[in-house]
A and B are shown apart, each in its own frame.
Chain A
Amino acid sequence: MDNLQSIQYFWPELIIVFTLIITIFVDFLYSDSASYRTGYWSLAGLVISSLVLSIQGIDVVTTLFRDMLAYDPFALFFKVIIAISTIFIILVSLSTNEYKNTRVGEHFILILVMVLGMMLMVSSIDLIMVYLAIETVSISSFILAGYLKSERRSSESSLKYVIYGAFSSGLMLFGLSILFGLTGTTKIFEIREVLINIGGDAQFAIILAGVFILAGFGYKISAVPFHFWTPDVYEGAPTPITAYLSVAPKAAGFALIIRFFHTVFTDTGALTSTSWLSQTALPWPEIMAILAVITMTLGNLVAIQQDNVKRMLAYSSIAHAGYMLMAIPMLSGEGIQAIMLYMLMYLMMNLGAFFVVIVVKNKTGGETFEDFKGFGWKMPVVGVIMSIFMFSLIGLPPTAGFIGKFYLFAAVIKAGPGFYWLAVIGVINSVISLYYYMRVVRMMFLEGSKQEQTTLPGTLLTVLLICLAVPTLLLGIYWAPVSDWVRNSLMFFTQGL
């Protein structure tokens, strides 16, 4: 579709951009102490754009800006996820103590940039666009990770992040170049067209390209072996940003992986496709499965050892990436549905967990397990809510997490006995994960004892936590609307149009 016509489907992103510009100017007017007000502006912008998102028709499926972007429900779904999480993040960054005595204006501006980048990520169908989007997200997240300049951990983490990010995007870029060399085009559909009838000699090049690109994507979703930055950055970055990184870019990354691999490396190029592109001659399912297994197992095992809750959550997020990867090899509609559903559930429970960390940090100034000791008695409400999140992360009914896992395992099992081993490893992993998640609960309730007077966190935080906890429970009991939404979002366009 032509650039001008495309605009009509591009409003959400445009609104973000406008907000961006407005916030930049507005930010000049505020003093350091008042610069948090910038947040409200960006919030307003986000809300508007997500409203627009919500009214956007999901029946339309097309490409925008001369085949730069895809406009389809799939993208829409992830855009919504991104928007929601961002709203939460902005709200929580307004209520954390970490940003005391720092100017937060740029913080919100950069978050907006990130949002834009991710929205492009989930819909880009041109290698150039892919690269640009990823870079946009990366660069702004580098800065956000290092936002607390005066805190050593923060700056260090951002340094690691930037170098690691640049490196892996370099790898990806090289991979892309190979792909370009093989096919002479940057449009993923055309690439697939070429690949479908390419000679067998090209296999090796395709393999390399695939692997290099996987490095780039894997780094975004922090899959083993491209996860090494995760714990440090998660621990070092300001908690709201950590929470954000653990959800939004991950979602975008998954969207990208799904779109890219399903388009480029499968036979029909649609999400409905059932087998990987034979030309690549890769045991894709096995590779992906193994990646998934390694990722979740390593994440879980290492998480057991952590003393810092934030860091533990970092590893747990790796593990969850692993769970979601389980559904990739199946190449089935169920698999992708499961991932999308899980993403939604994961968004709530993970954000929630991090928010509780923020609450704890606001109260005790620390974020280790020790700081959680007896917390359930000091702040019963928070304690209970945190337990809910933990159970959900373990995947116990009746919580959203269970439903997510249920769909994932269902997808794996559906693929037939060939993949039962994967499911078994998956469930055993969730048993392992019980150990460290329950450690939090244990610290909060079983250790320490009854307090006389109990307190609540700030109103805003309380509201946020409840807004996350309630759906975490409700979706565990009745999730039909969500799953329907997901299923409807799963229409995907082939290059037919």
Chain B
Amino acid sequence: MTTIIFWIFVLFTVVSAFKVVHSHNLIYAALSLLLTLFGVTALYVFLWADFLAGVQIVVYIGGILILLLFGIMLTHKITSIQITQLNMQRGVAGASALGILIILLWMIFRTPWFTMTSSEPLGTVREIGILLMSDYLLPFEVASVLLLAALIGAAMLSRKTE
């Protein structure tokens, strides 16, 4: 049962991702990105990463995606949304992309990945919390500084000068 659901999600993710890069309409692209992110979230769940799934929902869908949508709205009058947003170098791009994909697949299936069996934990939140406050304290702080910088920068850029 879960397997089927899993495959459904996989399919769902991939297809919507495909839409993201293919839809002629930015809004649709954004929406299909939303779906993709959902799909990924689901996969996180399958991977026992409940906390990350949450973060994904909150930050990505709640934050980034909304940002993108805002961006679209701000930079296009509603009427002009329909204009095609594709450029022409698909041929080469597609080819190289395909090439990379093949290479990747080859790699994936012939590499002895580092594996270790383990039972599903009750939840990762606590551990992650502890890790963040102990082992990964520095990255945590740095990230905060970075966010601060991004904040200032973004503010600076979008501030009206005149």
Contact = CB atoms under 8 A, between A and B. Distances in A.
Is there any pair of Cβ atoms, one from A and one from B, under 8 angstroms apart in the complex?
yes
Interface string B109-123: 011111010000000
Contacts of B153: 106, 110, 139-140, 142-143
Contact of A109 (B107, B113, B139, B149): B149
Contact of A205 (B107, B135, B150, B152): B107
Interface stretch (B20-28, B46-54, B140-148): B140-148
B150 A139 contact: yes
B5 interface: no
Contacts of A68: 135-136, 138-139
Given A65-B138, A184-B116, A204 B111 contact: yes
A455 interface: no
Nearest to B142: A132
A25 B138 CA distance: 23
B156 interface: yes
B146 A139 contact: yes
Interface stretch (A194-202, A292-300, A386-394): A194-202
Interface residues of A, number: 46
B114 A109 contact: no
Given A120-B142, A149-B161, 8 more contacts: A24-B148, A66-B135, A102-B161, A106-B152, A116-B142, A132-B139, A135-B146, A178-B107
Interface residues of B, number: 29
Contact of B138 (A3, A20, A182): A3
Interface in A107-132: 109-110, 113, 116-117, 120, 126, 128-129, 132
B1 interface: no
A181 interface: yes
B56 to A, nearest CB: 16
Contact of B145 (A129, A136, A202): A136
Nearest to B147: A139
30 contacts: A3-B134, A17-B145, A20-B145, A65-B137, A68-B138, A103-B156, A106-B152, A106-B153, A110-B152, A110-B153, A116-B142, A116-B145, A126-B139, A128-B136, A128-B139, A129-B138, A132-B139, A132-B143, A136-B142, A136-B146, A139-B146, A181-B111, A181-B113, A182-B111, A182-B114, A184-B114, A194-B114, A198-B112, A199-B112, A208-B103
A146 interface: yes
A133 B142 contact: yes
Contacts of A66: 134-135, 137
A101 B116 CA distance: 60
Nearest to B137: A3
A207 B150 CA distance: 34
B5 to A, nearest CB: 25
Contacts of A199: 112
Contacts of B83: none
Contacts of B145: 17, 20, 113, 116, 136
Interface of B: 103-104, 106-107, 110-114, 116, 134-139, 142-143, 145-146, 148-150, 152-154, 156-157, 161
Contact of A201 (B110, B138, B161): B110
A150 interface: yes
Contacts of A140: 149, 153
Contacts of B142: 116, 120, 129, 132-133, 136
Contacts of B149: 109-110, 113, 136, 139-140, 143
B149 to A, nearest CB: 4
A432 B146 CA distance: 42
A120 B154 CA distance: 23
A309 to B, nearest CB: 28
Interface of A: 3, 17, 20, 24, 64-66, 68-69, 102-103, 106, 109-110, 113, 116-117, 120, 126, 128-129, 132-133, 135-136, 139-140, 142-143, 146-147, 149-150, 178, 181-184, 194, 198-199, 201-202, 204-205, 208
B62 to A, nearest CB: 20
Contacts of B143: 132
A149 B158 CA distance: 9
B156 to A, nearest CB: 4
Nearest to A148: B161
Nearest to A136: B146
Q: Which 5 A-B pairs have the closest CB atoms?
A: A143-B153, A184-B114, A205-B111, A113-B149, A65-B138
Contacts of A102: 161
Contacts of B138: 3, 64-65, 68-69, 129
A199 B113 CA distance: 10
A141 to B, nearest CB: 10
Nearest to B133: A3
Contacts of A128: 136, 139
B108 to A, nearest CB: 8
Contacts of A126: 139
A486 B142 CA distance: 29
Q: Which of B103, B135, B149 has the most CB of A within 10 A?
A: B149
A69 B142 CA distance: 12
A102 B160 CA distance: 11
Contact of A149 (B104, B107, B157): B157
A342 to B, nearest CB: 29
B140 to A, nearest CB: 10
A129 B139 contact: yes
Given A69-B138, A132-B139, A201 B111 contact: yes
